[in-house]
Amino acid sequence: EEEEVSSSRRRRTKMGVVKLAIGDALITSLWVFSISTLGPFTSLISSYLQVQPPLTLFVTTTLVFILLFLFTTVGQILGGANFNPTATASFYAAGYGRDSLFSMAIRFPAQ
């Protein structure tokens, strides 16, 4: 009976890793699409507000802040999905979080 519980727990853990990898791939795809629109949106907002080049950096910084806030929130909703592979690797190296070497091997390519 103990073996059965252990086997069930391993299956659940593997499914959790697969779900995280799918979430990572989804959020990474959305991040790449969103960040590629940063330049055009900065241009549109700057021209609408009639902002000159030194202040367009503030517009870009504000847009990046909004994107990071939204994607971090969406990642938490998706159960800890992450679009940044360096964050996942550094948290694993520091021993922070739930990731194992197996989950890193699955999640890293998805990011």
- The per-residue pLDDT for range 84-103, each reduced to its tens digit, is 888 888 888 888 877 777 88
The answer to whether 82 touches 88, Cβ cutoff 8 Å, is yes
Residue-wise pLDDT for 40-78, tens only, equals 999 999 999 999 989 999 999 999 999 999 999 999 998
Give the pair of three-digit tokens for residue 13.
Answer: 């853990």
What is the reported pLDDT for 73? 94
* pLDDT value of residue 1: 52
- The predicted model scores a pTM of 0.75
Half-sphere exposure of 39 (CA within 13 A, CB side): 3
- Give the pLDDT confidence score for residue 10 in this predicted structure: 57
13 burial (CB, 10 Å; 0-12 / 13-18 / 19+) is middle
Q: Is the pLDDT of residue 9 over 80?
A: no
Residue 71 is given by DSSP the state H
pLDDT of residue 5: 44
CA dihedral for 58, 63, 65, 66, sign (positive or negative):
positive
Q: What is the 3-state secondary structure (H, E, C) of 11-55?
A: HHHHHHHHHHHHHHHHHHHHHHHHHHCHHHHHHHHHHHHCCCHHH
Of residues 64, 1, 72, the one with CA closest to residue 37: 64
pLDDT digits (tens, 9 = 90+) for 17-30: 888 889 999 999 99
